[in-house]
Amino acid sequence: MNDLLARATWSALVEPGDAVAGTLVGLLGAQGALAWVRHALRGAPELSRLEAVRGPLADPDRRRIERALARWAVRLPDCDPVRDLDRLDRLGGALLVPGDPRWPVALDDLGPEAPFGLWVRGTADLGRSLVRSAAIVGSRAATSYGERVAFDLADGLAADGVWVVSGGAYGIDAAAHRGAVARHGRTLVLLAGGVDRAYPAGNARLLEAVVGAGGALASEVPPTSLPTKSRFLQRNRLIAAAGRATVVVEAAWRSGAMSTAHHAARLLRPVGAVPGPVTSMASAGCHRLLRDGVAVCVTDAAEVRELAGLIGADLASDAEAAADARVARPHDALDPVTRRVLDALPRRTPAQLDRVASVAGVTVAEARGAVGLLELEGWAARRGDGWITVVRSTS
């Protein structure tokens, strides 16, 4: 068995973030560790072999190894790396492992908790791609404000060739991926389940659009693997490690996004947070990160690039220039709700707000907020008690 097959086996055998398995592979190599496990499950584990490499094992370490072997014994008979690689091949994917020039070496910072490999669909050269990257995360139950900010941040980063990293969930994650795709940029979706499983199912078209735009879907577990709560929590460490910086747009006091931010801080990755209304529970986590000094305040893509150390000649020179750039964006740079409202506005005969909301498939309150924003940016105008769209140049 070669290293690729051994690592494919390990990724199916153990749960993500298993430090005991990571330590074994670090000591004996993927093939050697797997052979040691198979031998141990047929009889008493040869702990002396491990001690010859790392020194005497304390009793707690011996017990951890024994418990790990008991866990792995249940799953090992079902592991079939050839079958898993064949499924990935039918998807047009690739398995990246350490030592492959396409491997994102930033993940090695996770130490014993680093993934054994990445099962990838789409652009496979993540090693080169993630040199210019930033993670954008936040609440699934996002507000329209949060989705708008996430979309704009991703749009601005993608315009500068920065890969946007997130988790593919509803809310902030999805808005960030859409922002990158709308700018014809690249984005990496790190999944908690297999790359053949669109989760959540409602984002299936978005995930395919990511691949079609030159981005990638990646997971540390093989195809057909189910996303579970523990895997979602472990997936957060990959997002934190993959990005040169992590930005939290909206997050409750305790949430997965907060977990990602703390993973990033432990890895000494810069962390940014977008402030929100002080009365908004959706931004309570962001305010906590700012107050505790874990994060710095960021408000636009230029500040995210600066946070990630990606300063270039195109960095906005001041806030006024950045604001002008936002005003001049085309329609597809608007957040999803506002864009749907804009699409629903007639050009000639004014439509009342409830009619606009019905056509757009949003609430009247959302339509009211969207037309107000569109009016400020010059895309809509009030005519009597109705609204119309304004055709304007984007050059």
pLDDT tens profile 90-132: 999 999 999 999 999 999 999 999 999 999 999 999 999 999 9
Question: What is the rounded distance in angstroms from the CA atom of residue 33 to the CA atom of residue 205?
Answer: 40
Nearest to 207 by CA among 241, 236, 173, 162: 173
Span 291-316, mean pLDDT? 83
Does the pLDDT of residue 12 top 90, yes or no? Answer: yes
Q: What is the CA radius of gyration of the chain?
A: 24
DSSP state of 226: P
pLDDT for res 362: 77
The two beta strands, 118-122 and 216-219, are antiparallel
Does the pLDDT of residue 1 top 70, yes or no? Answer: no
92 conformational bin, left if phi > 0, alpha if psi -120 to 50, beta if neither: left
Which residues lie closer than 8 Å to 321 by C-beta, 6 or more apart?
none
Does the pLDDT of residue 250 top 80, yes or no? Answer: yes
Whether pTM exceeds 0.85: no
Residue 186 · residue 123 · CB < 8 Å:
yes
* 154, 328, 329 from 394: Cα distances, Å: 20, 6, 7
Does the pLDDT of residue 327 top 50, yes or no? Answer: no
Question: What is the rounded distance in angstroms from the CA atom of residue 393 to the CA atom of residue 395?
Answer: 6
pLDDT in tens, 150-209: 999 999 999 999 999 999 999 999 999 999 999 999 999 999 999 998 888 999 999 999
Only one residue has tokens 């990445």, namely 118
pLDDT in tens, 17-67: 999 999 999 999 999 999 999 999 988 778 888 888 878 888 888 899 989
At CB < 8 A and 24+ separation, what contacts does 255-258 make? Answer: 255/139, 255/285, 256/137, 256/167, 256/232, 257/137, 257/138, 257/139, 257/172, 257/285, 258/285, 258/288, 258/289
325 vs 66, more confident: 66
Share of the chain above pLDDT 70, in %: 93
Which residues lie closer than 8 Å to 279 by C-beta, 6 or more apart?
none
Question: What is the rounded distance in angstroms from the CA atom of residue 386 to the CA atom of residue 373?
Answer: 15
Which residues lie closer than 8 Å to 208 by C-beta, 6 or more apart?
198
- Count CB neighbours of 1 within 10 A: 12
pLDDT for res 315: 43
Question: What is the rounded distance in angstroms from the CA atom of residue 54 to the CA atom of residue 264?
Answer: 28
